[in-house]
Structure 1
Amino acid sequence: MPKPRTKRGAAREERKRKRHDPDETNGFESKRPRRSKGEGEEAHDDESGCQFDEPQPQNGPGETEFFGMLADEEQEYFRRADGMLELNQFPTSEERDMFLDNVYREAQGKELKLASSQSCSRLMERLIQLSNTAQKKRLFGAFGGHFLSLMQHRFASHCCEALFLRSAGLVTKELAGFVGFVLDTKGKDAEEEQPEASMESLFLATLDELEGSLSFLITDRFASHALRVLLLVLSGRPLDDASAKTLMKSKRKENISVAGSAAADEQNRGLRAVPESFVMAVKKIIADSTADVDATGLRVLAKHPIGNPTLQLMLELDMTLNKSDQKADSAQPSLLSQLLPGAPQSLADASSEASEFVNGMIYDQIGSRLIETLITHCPGKVFKTLNHSIFLPRIQGYVRNDISSYPAIKVLNRLGRDDLVEAVDKIAPTIPQLVAKKRFNVLKTLFERCAARGVLDEIKKLMKGLKEGCGTQPADLATTLCCLGGEKEKSKDVEQLARNQYAIQSHGAQLLTALLAISGPSKGVQEAILALPGDLFIRLATASMPTVTLLTTALSTPSANSLFQKSIVSTVTPHTSELATSQFGHNLVNAIAEVPSKGKDLSVPAHMKEAIMQQLGAHEAQLRESWMGRSVWRTWKGDMWKTRRGDWKVWMKEVDVPQKEQHPVGQKGLDENGGKGDGKHKRDKRTKDRRREG
């Protein structure tokens, strides 16, 4: 059998060891009953090395449905097709469409085998991304009756996710009246043509298959992801939102993409209109999933590593739908009332079941994420009692803990002016401890919320505590928050240490960037940047994207100190070639080119820009060897500087407004590649400039 090209599945020996050792358990495995083989039975081995028993009728969610195996020549054909789609070397889009039609024709009747194959499931995902409406509907028909098994399969579950996601926008189009989607019946007899089912009915038919198994699918290792995708599609929530992407897939999920799918996926972006049946279906899924779960079961589910993200999504949708629904069904208890019985009145009692639930989850690494969702989306009357009874009295303790600080940040984002002042008064004395514990994200939220609420006195308290925690020297603010000192955290895991350092440095840089937007603290940040020694400044410019964003923001922010921008450019100039070829530092060099040469509060003199261009010109060959260097060379219009020095000077002096809009040099004829001029007066001006230089 051909060897799989990639390591999508686990090692066969490891899977066999865990299968034969009953004591070997995995916390992420779904709770499926094992079936023992009788004597004389032969096990089938698929491409992933997983053994399946003889095909049997599927009587429950714990049974495994076997769809058969592809022949060797079929596998080879589909692998070649996958490689051709990945390379995308088709001369025209029409030829690629013809190729897709041929692959679909060859895959007819083999869709289930393809989806459950380790080596060919990627091809199915790419086909779904490029499929038209009729082809997607054919796949719904091919998968119909088997969605329960497919969603629990290691590889087929990814195909189900892709099919649900790529079909979401079609529901909205059909709802809006765009019914121009018909099956391609070329070459078919008229009696074979059948009326096309709507995408809405196909989704509802899929839900009918899953009915009765939802409580099991919530904690299934593979089906839980597909269930979350299905909930997002049914709710009409934006699928390209960052929080939605986090809920849909795990960090280790392989990203399968194909050229040309971005245009087809445009209809799935943004907020989508969904039919009323989808809203009712979401409510029914939430009700059926938690109908047989008691209070203890909900607490277990809230701490379950697989069930918690699904419960988060259900809780958010439950609160959102009940908030928009004017006539909520009082006979059917909401998920919020199941988690917090008797809320909001019960939250005022510290011994109540609702209070114990919140206090028990806020320090749990997994359960605290559910508390974040609860705080963000709960009704105002519930949040008010929750805040005054639990969070506000102990807010200074919550922000110091590495787990409870995240729910505390959500609380700070919802506080009113008076409650925010009270919270700052309690937190302000502990700010040096927050700096020592690297809780920079908490401090960033405090500064931003105080600025939004207009409480300037509280900002002064926070800034005083921040300087006290960082140090007495002006540069200490930048070196402490951006981790530029010599202190290093001890850890055996080098990779984990690097991730922790990057996260801390990013949070510190984001805090300083937020301070630049506030009139008072911005002066202290600028003083800290100017006080940095040259080597530490270069480290800051090349450390990470957030630290470079800090410098570019400081460079482009008008300052009362007219020497601020000039001092940054003076520090950068000797290291221009080094920064121009750096992954992050080249952004700072590009940002200098966009700062105007004339201005009262924001300017970089033309002679300083010419000095930087001289440095770039001296290292042109080195710059052209990397994409970062080529980006800098284009931004600074290096070719124009070499061939038409006078035109470059005119462009550089008038770069204070957007390029390609404000000056004809950036529009017609005078590009960096030496195009022709667009008028006699420009040719005369270039002649005068050359004579003056000569």
Structure 2
Amino acid sequence: MENQHFQAAHYGEVPEELLGYFKSVESKLDDQSFESAEDQRLFVDNVYTEVEGNELRLATNYSCSLVLEKLLKISDSFQLRVFMDKLSGSTIPLFAHRFASHVCQTLLTLAADVVDQEMVQGVQPNQGEQAENDQQGVLLTMQELVLGMCEDLKPSVGGLISQQFASHVIRVLLYVLAGKRVDESGESNSRLRTKKSHIYKAENNNVKNTRTGNKHLRVPNSFKEMFRSLTKELAMNGNEAVIRSLAVHRVASPLIQVLLELQDDSEEGRQAQTALLDSLLWGIVSDVNPADERKKDDRKAWFQTLIRDKAGSHLLEMVVKVAPDNVYDQLYKTYLAGNLEKFGLNPVSNFVIQQLISNVRTPAQVQSMVSELAGKPFTSMLKNGKYGVIRSLVDASVKVQGCYKQVVDALVAALGMTDDTTQQKQFVDCVIRMKTLDNWNNLLSEEQDSLRNFHLQGSLILQGIMKMPAEQNAFVVNSFLSMKPAVSLRWCYTPMGSRVVESIIASQHVNDKIKKKLLKNLLGEYVSLSKDKFGSHIVETCWSVADIEIKEKIARELVKYEYDLSEHHLGKCILWSCKIDLFKRHYNEWVEREKGVDRKKDMFKDILGDDVKMPKKRQYRSY
């Protein structure tokens, strides 16, 4: 790779008058005071007209690049295509530029939706609009513009993936080619933007992208072919030693993870994924049991390096997530079985162990993992704060529908509880705070009453146990019911406690008698819960499982404070869900409606089994 490809692009300084103009543009974009969509479009058109010929200068200027990103987010598809066309031929220097790379990243994210629109409308290459000025030629479709960008990159892509700024943009480009929506707020955020960039965007670049929709986007076959071509260029045609060096490279490793994640289920996708895994793991797919002892030792040493390296461990997390069953099993048996405690206690490798357990494939594997970790290792995990490993075992048990007793018994023992029912009354208190029974008993009464030390992993563990059969979830249910109503009620107003309460009420493995008791315990509190951002979800869950008798009691409670609730943004949603207006005006019709809902649930239960959730008409979360 020639160094000139990585030289920072420089297209001259932005004139002072243009800088001043862009400051006024930013102020207008932040205010968002457009009277109509047409006004907004005209404003954006005027801005592009004013900056014509200076696009490259603006993209490479710190303050102007930020304004450009805001402008792009409210541009229509035609305006986006015009802007991308202006960048044609400068792909590599822009991708490798500190500021312009972020503009390109935003542009590509928005381009994905434009390509999706073109697919819906049946737009084909060579069907771009004629420009107003005949000398300007035909404006290419977004499909052609993106592919042109890829062609520019191809000769240099192998070196650019480890370039500090270009790597992030290439990751987004791969998402676009694969037809996956770029979600920079989700799980893939850390692989698409640096932490610093994400924080800045959240705090400053506050113009929202209104383009939302399905996670998967329609893309032409040419995109899929280009994705395979770039995959071969990056992963299959490269030297294995180079690929392994990229696995522990701080910038390049996330891109390798994206390549592994985005391969589809086609034969070409599986072949590419297998070839990449083989290169990364020193031939573990093609040469399962090498005769050469030296190769075995080298492979083992490499794995030990990978699992303890900050970048390499993230890559291994993706490997155990996407690896075929036979590769997963080989990795587990060869390198991880017998070492779960050692790696699970390590501050870096414990995340790999969590993913290994969460993505388990067979009940036998769960059985083996539980047998290895039960007893002293479980206690060590609890003592050393590696709660995620414990939560992963609970999730794995639920996933394969087995080993329930072994997992819960191991947790009970690690908490220092015996078969004594009195001790087990503190089960939920200990788990949600991730404390042993001795630690709980040594807390002052004020600390025991405090809900501030609730732990997220503890809440997730309790929710996981509630998906297990009654014999195991009885530890949670009995412990929760033994609490004083005033104490258990306080859980409903906390983010982690409320989720546990919801999981108990909604569990298919809790009998109706216990659920009815829980719902009755909340009578007198439904109005207050309806106005709370956590409690309102508990009201909805209660309503979904209540019989007509309890529903009527809840409705009578709500109707007394109908006006108060109707003035509250959450309360009015509860009034709508419970059809309180119908209850008040046409009681008999309300009764028949709710009985009909119950009959429908029973009917689906008979057809599909116990795990039936009726579809909600309202989908929202206020937090």
TM over 0.5: yes
Query: What's the offset of the Cα at 1:485?
Result: 7.0
2: distance between equivalents of 1:82 and 1:119? Answer: 10
1:519 paired to 2:483: no
Match of 1:309 in 2: 254
Q: Is the 8 A contact 2:235 2:276 kept in 1?
A: no
Match of 2:41 among 82, 94, 97: 97
Match of 1:275 in 2: 221
Name the SS for the 1:119 alignment partner.
Answer: helix
How do 1:50-129 residues align onto structure 2 when only pairs under 5 Å count? Answer: 60-129=4-73
- Residues 591-650 of structure 1 deviation map (CA, whole Å, 9 limit, x = unaligned): 44444343xxxx736346545665x56xx76x6886445555665677x59xx8565797
Cα pair distance change 1:553/1:342, threshold 3 Å:
closer
Match of 2:163 among 188, 203, 220: 220
Q: Which residue identity lines up with residue 493 of structure 2 in the other structure?
A: T
Query: What's the offset of the Cα at 1:535?
Result: 5.0
1:446 paired to 2:393: yes
Cα pair distance change 1:88/1:649, threshold 3 Å:
farther
Name the structure where helix makes up a greater proportion of residues: 2
- Residues 637-690 of structure 1 deviation map (CA, whole Å, 9 limit, x = unaligned): 77x59xx8565797489646669x99xxxxxxxxxxxxxxxxxxxxxxxxxxxx
1:533 paired to 2:484: yes
2: distance between equivalents of 1:426 and 1:608? Answer: 48
TM-score, reference length from structure 1: 0.70
Match of 1:203 in 2: 146
Larger Rg: 1
Match of 2:459 in 1: 509
2: distance between equivalents of 1:77 and 1:403? Answer: 49
Match of 1:338 among 279, 282, 292: 279
Name the SS for the 1:517 alignment partner.
Answer: coil
Q: Is the 8 A contact 2:526 2:558 kept in 1?
A: yes
- Cα RMSD (Å): 4.1
Match of 2:85 in 1: 141
Q: Is the 8 A contact 2:313 2:352 kept in 1?
A: yes
- Residues 338-392 of structure 1 deviation map (CA, whole Å, 9 limit, x = unaligned): 3223323356768432222222222333321111222222344433322221223
Cα pair distance change 1:482/1:184, threshold 3 Å:
farther
Match of 1:416 in 2: 362
1:376 paired to 2:321: yes
Q: Is the 8 A contact 2:468 2:509 kept in 1?
A: no
2: distance between equivalents of 1:588 and 1:274? Answer: 45
1: distance between equivalents of 2:400 and 2:8? Answer: 57
Name the SS for the 1:183 alignment partner.
Answer: coil
Q: Which residue identity lines up with residue 151 of structure 1 in the other structure?
A: F
1: distance between equivalents of 2:592 and 2:381? Answer: 46
1: distance between equivalents of 2:586 and 2:473? Answer: 37
Q: Is the 8 A contact 1:371 1:407 kept in 2?
A: yes
Query: What's the offset of the Cα at 1:299?
Result: 5.0
> Which segment is superposed worse, 211-220 or 137-146?
211-220
Q: Is the 8 A contact 2:466 2:509 kept in 1?
A: no
Q: Is the 8 A contact 2:104 2:169 kept in 1?
A: yes
1: distance between equivalents of 2:183 and 2:515? Answer: 37
Match of 1:229 among 162, 166, 172: 172
Q: Is the 8 A contact 2:397 2:407 kept in 1?
A: no
> Which segment is superposed worse, 277-286 or 370-379?
277-286
Match of 1:357 among 302, 308, 312: 302
Name the SS for the 1:482 alignment partner.
Answer: helix
Cα pair distance change 1:523/1:646, threshold 3 Å:
farther
Match of 1:491 in 2: none
Q: Is the 8 A contact 1:372 1:410 kept in 2?
A: yes
Q: Is the 8 A contact 2:526 2:539 kept in 1?
A: yes
Cα pair distance change 1:347/1:629, threshold 3 Å:
farther
Q: Is the 8 A contact 2:248 2:312 kept in 1?
A: yes
Cα pair distance change 1:314/1:597, threshold 3 Å:
closer
- Residues 567-606 of structure 1 deviation map (CA, whole Å, 9 limit, x = unaligned): 43454446556645544233324444444343xxxx7363
Match of 1:551 in 2: 501
Q: Structure 1: which 5+ runs fail to align? A: 1-57, 489-500, 663-694
1: distance between equivalents of 2:269 and 2:478? Answer: 54
Cα pair distance change 1:626/1:410, threshold 3 Å:
same
Q: Which residue identity lines up with residue 467 of structure 2 in the other structure?
A: A
Q: Is the 8 A contact 1:238 1:271 kept in 2?
A: yes
Match of 1:483 in 2: 433
Name the SS for the 1:262 alignment partner.
Answer: coil
Name the SS for the 1:542 alignment partner.
Answer: coil
Match of 2:619 in 1: none
How much identity, in percent, do the aligned residues show?
21
Cα pair distance change 1:172/1:275, threshold 3 Å:
farther
1:178 paired to 2:119: no
Name the SS for the 1:120 alignment partner.
Answer: helix
Q: Which residue identity lines up with residue 210 of structure 2 in the other structure?
A: A
- Residues 139-187 of structure 1 deviation map (CA, whole Å, 9 limit, x = unaligned): 22211232222223333212101211222244455567324964374xx
- Residues 478-523 of structure 1 deviation map (CA, whole Å, 9 limit, x = unaligned): 11221187979xxxxxxxxxxxx98x82222222222222223233
Cα pair distance change 1:248/1:275, threshold 3 Å:
same
Query: What's the offset of the Cα at 1:228?
Result: 0.7
Match of 1:324 in 2: 267
2: distance between equivalents of 1:657 and 1:365? Answer: 55
1: distance between equivalents of 2:435 and 2:596? Answer: 38
Name the SS for the 1:390 alignment partner.
Answer: helix
Query: What's the offset of the Cα at 1:562?
Result: 4.4
Match of 1:192 in 2: 135
Number of aligned residues: 567
Q: Which residue identity lines up with residue 330 of structure 2 in the other structure?
A: T
Q: Is the 8 A contact 2:244 2:279 kept in 1?
A: no
Q: Which residue identity lines up with residue 300 of structure 2 in the other structure?
A: S
How do 1:461-610 residues align onto structure 2 when only pairs under 5 Å count? Answer: 461-470=406-415, 471=417, 473-483=423-433, 505-520=455-470, 521-534=472-485, 536-544=487-495, 546-557=496-507, 561-573=511-523, 579-598=529-548, 604=550, 606-607=552-553, 610=556
2: distance between equivalents of 1:129 and 1:575? Answer: 44
1: distance between equivalents of 2:25 and 2:597? Answer: 46
Cα pair distance change 1:217/1:192, threshold 3 Å:
same
Match of 1:156 in 2: 100
Query: What's the offset of the Cα at 1:421?
Result: 2.6
1: distance between equivalents of 2:459 and 2:425? Answer: 14
Match of 2:611 in 1: none
2: distance between equivalents of 1:524 and 1:466? Answer: 11
Match of 2:312 in 1: 367
How do 1:24-39 residues align onto structure 2 when only pairs under 5 Å count? Answer: none
Q: Is the 8 A contact 1:395 1:426 kept in 2?
A: yes
1: distance between equivalents of 2:519 and 2:388? Answer: 29
Match of 1:425 in 2: 371
Cα pair distance change 1:596/1:649, threshold 3 Å:
farther
Query: What's the offset of the Cα at 1:226?
Result: 0.7
- Residues 453-476 of structure 1 deviation map (CA, whole Å, 9 limit, x = unaligned): 443xx2122222222233353342
Cα pair distance change 1:559/1:66, threshold 3 Å:
closer
Q: Which residue identity lines up with residue 254 of structure 2 in the other structure?
A: P
Q: Is the 8 A contact 2:9 2:97 kept in 1?
A: no
TM-score, reference length from structure 2: 0.77
Q: Which residue identity lines up with residue 138 of structure 1 in the other structure?
A: V
